[in-house]
A and B are shown apart, each in its own frame.
Chain A
């Protein structure tokens, strides 16, 4: 039972346009969500996060939106750059559990074309 799902395995976007990566979750107890970016042969690197008490968090070109009623979050990258090409993982966690282990989605491969 996948608690975090990224239904689009890949996404192709033109440089300068907006990239929108989507993520759905089933566990309503999750209270913190994160996006990680992964280049080949490297570990995931933290990108941006959002608490369940917020519906938006922005950091430069990256904005994460959370819709709790729909159990849906999205990552917007504006403007997209070729260096953004990577696999993006959505992750969720329960802040008060013993461990803060992350539950990851399957990832979306973003390709930004020059």
Chain B
């Protein structure tokens, strides 16, 4: 497809379980971003990748969160030992070139995560 895709679209899990969220960026986009939107809140930046490298992980809420990107394409966001406060919509975005400003970020539809 032409846009950013994310899977699954919805995920319901039990507290304490691990989850993996996947993002397929637009082909050729070197930058990839993860955000989350909790209920009634704005979008919160989590992490970004330039190629396969994540230079700054300080936006991740806790050490239960990790992300990786392979081949400069697909990225996975992993949440270990999920907690109820992790419930949110997790959004992925990609852009053409992180070093060229301004650089429009294109968002996927998001994964709605519900932790029971």
Interaction A to B: yes
Chain A residues packing against B (C-beta within 8 Å): 4, 6, 32, 34, 36, 41-46, 49, 51, 89, 91, 95-96, 98-107
Cα–Cα distance between A44 and B33 once the two chains are bound (Å): 13
B interface residues, how many (CB within 8 angstroms): 29
Closest chain B CB from A111 CB (angstroms)? 17
| Subset of 30 A-B contacts with CB under 8 Å | A4-B42, A32-B101, A36-B107, A42-B109, A42-B110, A43-B107, A43-B109, A43-B110, A44-B43, A45-B106, A45-B107, A46-B104, A46-B105, A49-B102, A51-B102, A91-B43, A95-B102, A98-B50, A99-B56, A100-B48, A100-B95, A100-B105, A101-B45, A102-B33, A102-B45, A103-B45, A104-B35, A104-B42, A104-B43, A104-B44
Q: Does chain A have a CB within 8 A of B67?
A: no
Query: In the complex, which residues of chain A have a beta carbon less than 8 angstroms from the beta carbon of B33?
Result: 101-102
Contact B105 A105 (CB under 8 A): no
> Which of chain B's residues 4-38 have a Cβ closer than 8 Å to chain A?
4, 31, 33, 35
B41 contacts the other chain (Cβ, under 8 Å)? yes
* Cα–Cα, bound, A114→B56 (Å): 46
Most buried by A among B56, B107, B109: B107
Chain B contacts of A36 at CB under 8 A?
107
Q: B109's contact among A32, A41, A95, by CB below 8 Å, is which? A: A41
Q: Are B42 and A105 in contact (CB under 8 A)?
A: yes
A106 touches B41 (CB 8 A): yes
Q: Mark B80-92, 1 if CB is under 8 A from A, else 0.
A: 0000000000010
Cβ of B59 < 8 Å from any Cβ of A?
yes
A94, closest chain B residue (CB): B101
Interface centre among A43, A44, A89, A91 (most CB of B within 10 A): A43
